[in-house]
Amino acid sequence: MSARTEPVRTQNARPGYAEIKAAAALHPNSGAWAFFMREIIGLPHEMTPAVSQVIRLERWKCAPDPIEAVRADAIEAHNSSWDNSWGKSKH
């Protein structure tokens, strides 16, 4: 096996990598996306915009735990958007 193909195989072997890759092609209103959010990522459907954004940014691809990377980054993005919508002075 060549060294060139090994990193791809290693990435794809990490738990959650294939699921996230497949979810990237799903429509957020599909039943499959709802399953992905609930059963794989473990976040409520209301966080779909944050999860979609995080998946598009693709930082999860180099994370040791892609599922946790998507979850943590989505929560951070969601919280940040709430902070920005309320403004810093209203807390």
Q: Would you say residue 4 has pLDDT above 80?
A: no
Q: Tell me: the pLDDT tens digits for 55-85?
A: 999 999 999 999 999 999 999 999 988 766 6
What is the residue-averaged pLDDT of the chain?
85
Structure confidence at residue 13 (pLDDT) = 75
- The Cα 46–Cα 66 span in angstroms is 20
Q: Would you say residue 48 has pLDDT above 80?
A: yes
- The Cα 7–Cα 9 span in angstroms is 5
